[in-house]
Amino acid sequence: MVLPGVPAVGPVVAADVRHALRSGRAVVALESSLITHGLPRPLNLEVALACEARVRGEGAVPATVAVHDGRLLVGLRREALEELSAAEDASKASRHTLAAALGRPGWAGTTVSATMIAAHAAGIAILATGGIGGVHHDAGRSFDVSADLEELARTPVAVVCSGPKSIVDARLTLEYLETRGVPVVGCGTDELPGFWARETGLPVPAGVGTPEEAAALAIRHWGLGLGTGIVFAVPVPREAELPREDAREAIAQALAEAGAAEITGAAATPWLLARIGELTGGRSVVANRALIEHNAGIAARIAVALLRYSGGDRARA
């Protein structure tokens, strides 16, 4: 229901994305909170442009999602990406803050959960990001569980990532996703990737060796009418890896400092990632960039295969 005087707030799909969807071309959604909150300037713009280039290079059309002046945008032109990356007052839009973000002027970067909502509404099946949120280490006390996980349990979009972010509890995150019926599928690995690290020591319930196998699995899953998203977990490129042993001390120190400073909620993740970057001499940032760009390319290959196998239809229930 649209109330009198309140505009509709469905996604505004860019012309090139709309044309691609109508003509049966593969499209990959890209989240934008990593542009507004996850990477420092000017690296954020460099990575955003590189991700779009990776998607195009694999034969798909990129659709970066963001909020601007009351519109949920699916697909951004170069000028808009530049403006978004330079916005110092950008907010972060998740499921619970998306309506509020649409009621304010200016920019908001969309998290995985908000990007999934926009992608599904636009008819896009695949989303690429760096890492998903998860169950935080102190969740037993704080109840801090990322909205990404619940979105994966309710919205049928496949998310290509390098596992949960390193600052969350990977084991509990995997358990949560299993409980909510979300397939976690290793791409070229039998082990859950650890974001900056290639492994966590946790086996994944299922694995695929190629994008074609990933697409076939997605079609089977959605064809069953199960209604959830899918996590396709891709290890960071080996040459850019920050082994978990090297990151563990920095992560522990950053978490302790955040606790002492009472940095919680939406502010915690960007602060922790920036602090860990400082503590690792920038090695975590190098790994972050590499995995984000790599995942965009993998997502595009899955999107192309998905479209080919499904005959141009998403094979959704």
Alpha helices in the chain (DSSP H): 15-22, 33, 43-57, 78-86, 98-102, 112-122, 139-142, 147-152, 170-179, 211-223, 244-260, 268-279, 283-309
Confidence (pLDDT) at 266: 60
The CATH number of residue 265's host domain is 3.40.1790.10
How far does CA 159 lie from the centroid of its chain? 6
Domain annotation covers residue 1 = no
SS3 of 87, please? coil
Report d(CA 259, CA 150) in Å as an integer: 25
Angle (CA) 109 91 20, round 5°: 20
How many domains is the chain partitioned into structurally?
1
Domain annotation covers residue 315 = no
Domain annotation covers residue 86 = yes
Report d(CA 70, CA 275) in Å as an integer: 32
Confidence (pLDDT) at 34: 93
Confidence (pLDDT) at 313: 45
Domain annotation covers residue 6 = no
Report d(CA 237, CA 258) in Å as an integer: 29
Domain annotation covers residue 218 = yes
Domain annotation covers residue 71 = yes
Is residue 120 within 8 Å of residue 21, measured between CB atoms? no
Q: For residue 219, give Cα distances in angstroms to 76, 148, 290, 295, 301.
A: 28, 22, 28, 20, 15
- Domain extent, residue 188, equals 11-309
CA-atom Rg of the chain in angstroms:
18
- Look up residue 281 and give its amino acid: G
Active-site residue numbers?
A: 31, 165
- Dihedral pair phi/psi, residue 148, rounded to 5°: -55, -40
Is residue 118 within 8 Å of residue 11, measured between CB atoms? yes
Domain annotation covers residue 2 = no
Report d(CA 110, CA 116) in Å as an integer: 9
Closest to 178 measured CA to CA, from 202, 160, 205, 213: 205
Within 10 angstroms of residue 261's Cβ, the number of other Cβ atoms is: 9
Over the chain (317 residues), what is each successive 10-residue block's mean pLDDT? 58 97 96 92 96 98 98 98 96 96 97 98 97 80 85 98 91 96 97 93 96 97 96 96 84 84 72 84 91 98 92 45
Domain annotation covers residue 5 = no
Report d(CA 173, CA 293) in Å as an integer: 23
